[in-house]
């Protein structure tokens, strides 16, 4: 990202539950890292106030002034337009509607600010500093609470007409499937995310299926998470293993669609659910191989995301740096 180590950028990764802020140099090294809770239920003004407080803490930790920064990059969840800096709507941030987040922050902080979708930011993080270094055409997928994606074509994020491209979690996998937060039915994230896995397990437990899953959730069905199911599966619980394989099957159906549409050389997979590993990915890759064009499937590599929880904040910083360089070559 340029040889000048003096290039300092501030990255912000805004999530529905957490705000992660870091001062980052052009090599992707974090000089500070501030983690706080998103007051999502209190509306956008409270959230923006929390972001600003987090910015000042991250600057303080790194012993850097705002004037030392080249720019600020913000990754945010939901539908947004990077050109106008407006966040249209976000399923994880209740009450946000057409918020000019970029301009508000630019005004409050007096520093050039850029806004990008969080999964697109994570894709850029992996492109510049992680598992996709040197790969010009790849797709990044995060399997977590929902499913997000970033599409990189010829080294650039493909953002579409209004910046809404890459919403892979909302492709229809089952046209008669469960209703999604987005209003559609049978979206990929309703069948293949961590939330979907936990929901199906709770449903089966309430139906009375014999399983040890509850023992890993303090006996409380509401505390059943993907992680709990993974623990039970690793100890040989047959329901847990079956549910993970079923989730893997749906992961594979979605992958087959992406492989046929984009013919990527690489698919980078991150997000908490991907920590399950082979139990999830063996069925996923098997189904993807059966359903995608054989030649396209053989041409794709799969890799685990390398940056973990820092991919979004590093990618937001990388995006700001990339935009500054393209505006002032």
Domains in the chain: ranges and CATH:
8-117 (3.30.420.40), 131-305 (3.30.420.40)
Q: What's the predicted TM-score (pTM) here? A: 0.91
Write out the DSSP string of 81-138.
ETTTTEEEE-TTSTT-EEE-HHHHHHHHHTS-EEEEEHHHHHHHHHHHHSTTTT-SSE
Q: Which two tokens stand for residue 1?
A: 């990202």
pLDDT in 10s for each residue of the chain, 329 residues: 544 557 999 999 998 889 999 999 999 999 999 999 999 999 999 999 999 999 999 999 999 999 999 999 999 998 999 999 999 998 779 899 999 999 999 999 999 999 999 999 999 999 999 999 999 999 999 999 899 999 999 999 999 998 889 999 999 999 999 999 888 999 999 999 999 999 999 999 999 999 999 999 999 999 999 999 999 999 999 999 999 999 999 999 999 999 999 999 999 999 999 999 999 999 999 999 999 999 999 999 999 999 999 999 999 999 999 999 988 87
How far apart are the C-alpha atoms of 73 and 326, rounded to whole Å?
15
Name the phi and psi angles at 323, rounded to 5: -65, -40
Those residues whose C-beta lies under 8 Å from the C-beta of residue 29, and which sit 6 or more positions away, are none
């Amino acid at each position: 990202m340029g040889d000048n180590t003096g290039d300092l950028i501030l990255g912000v990764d805004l999530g529905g539950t957490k705000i992660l802020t870091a001062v980052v140099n052009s090599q992707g090294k974090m000089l500070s890292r501030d983690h706080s809770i998103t007051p999502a239920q209190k509306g956008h003004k409270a959230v923006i106030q929390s972001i600003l407080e987090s910015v000042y803490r991250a600057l303080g930790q790194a012993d850097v002034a705002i004037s030392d920064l080249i720019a600020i990059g913000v990754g945010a969840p939901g539908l947004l337009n990077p050109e106008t800096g407006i966040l249209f709507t976000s399923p994880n941030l209740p009450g946000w509607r057409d918020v000019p987040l970029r301009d508000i922050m630019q005004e409050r902080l007096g520093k050039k600010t850029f806004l990008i979708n969080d999964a697109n930011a994570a894709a850029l993080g992996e492109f510049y500093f992680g598992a996709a270094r040197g790969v010009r055409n790849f797709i990044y997928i995060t399997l977590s609470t929902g499913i997000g994606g970033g599409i990189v074509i010829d080294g650039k994020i493909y953002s579409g007409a209004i910046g809404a491209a890459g919403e892979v979690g909302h492709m229809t996998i089952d046209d008669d499937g469960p209703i999604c937060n987005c209003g559609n039915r049978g979206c990929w994230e309703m069948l293949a995310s961590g939330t979907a896995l936990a929901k199906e397990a709770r449903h089966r437990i309430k139906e009375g299926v014999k399983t040890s899953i509850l023992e890993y959730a303090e006996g409380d069905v509401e505390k059943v998470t993907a992680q709990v199911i993974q623990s039970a599966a690793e100890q040989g619980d047959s329901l847990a293993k079956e549910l993970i394989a079923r989730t893997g099957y749906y992961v594979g159906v979605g992958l087959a669609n992406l492989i046929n549409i984009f013919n990527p050389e690489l698919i980078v997979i991150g997000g908490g659910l991907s920590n399950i590993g082979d139990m999830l990915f063996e069925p996923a890759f098997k189904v993807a191989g059966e359903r995608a064009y054989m030649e396209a499937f053989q041409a794709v590599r799969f890799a685990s995301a390398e940056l973990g929880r820092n991919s979004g904040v590093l990618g937001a910083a990388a995006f700001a740096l990339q935009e500054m360089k393209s505006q002032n070559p």
